[in-house]
Amino acid sequence: MHPIGVFDSGVGGLSVLQALRSELPHERFVYFSDAGYAPYGERDVAHVLQRSLAIGDYLVHRQGVRALVVACNTATAAAIVALRAAYPALPIVGVEPALKPAAARSLTGIVGVLATRGTLASEKFQALLQAQNPKVHFVLQACDGLAAAIEHDDAAQIAALCTRYTANLGRFGGTPGAVDTVVLGCTHYAFAKTELQKRVGPDVTLLDAGQPVAQRTHKLLDQENAANLATGASEKNQIWVDLWTTGTVSTLEDAAQRWLTDCGPVRHVALA
């Protein structure tokens, strides 16, 4: 069974992989963490594009993937067009901040967006922003360092940065002039959801990309007649996720143990 490839600059894409495993429980996955060349969100577009193409080549030609999920907002913005051009026959799914669902959900008409600096500055994000309902006001906040803090499971730093960046969004709640919906525009941020919710309050909705990406991937695989619907007792002890990283093996191991099941050992790969 050929796997589905999933990649991110680090461990953030595991939040998307969680949703994919739930949506497609009989699929096998290869997860690639490019932590040795991270963070993407604070690097230039050329760097992210080059890394994304190198990873795409590795997953297609070395791992034999039959679909590719770019589980990183910054990489999607920088490289998904080039990846689709390079592999026109391959189903490729990217992630983007959930601006449209947030605009539809907001009752106050004020939506906060937490994302990396690279995502907010990208042409793809700016085009997405311009396409939204002009009656909805989006408050944008670059969250320098938050993805890295989540990557290293630094609880104190995560808490401090969540406090700083949510405070910059303004007032929260359901009253006029308040932010009532917040978009998590980086896949890492889903793992800080509890800390973020504490700061914005229980009445504010936090939206991430995991479930929509999983549903989109399922739909594309169905269209390609490629979804694996196999079941059976022989599969109970099968390893469903292979893990690779260009960074420190222990970092991805620790994250996988916290957030995933049915994983194989983490292996290091040198991908210059």
Q: Residue written as tokens 């022989």?
A: 234
Closest CA to 44 of 74, 11, 73, 85: 74
72 annotated active-site: yes
Q: Are 190 and 12 in contact (CB under 8 A)?
A: yes
Closest CA to 208 of 11, 7, 21, 13: 13
Tell me the residue ranges of DSSP E strands in 9-128: 29-33, 67-70, 92-94, 110-115
Q: Label residue 117 exposed, middle or buried (CB < 10 Å: 0-12, 13-18, 19+).
A: middle
Residue 53 CA: distances (Å) to CA of 59, 182, 271: 10, 31, 11
- Taking the CA atoms of 25, 214, 91 and 267 in sequence, report the sign of the dihedral they define: negative
Catalytic residue among 72, 143, 162, 263: 72
3-state SS assignment for residue 205? strand
Catalytic residue among 143, 162, 186, 263: 186
186 annotated active-site: yes
Cite the active site residues.
Answer: 72, 186
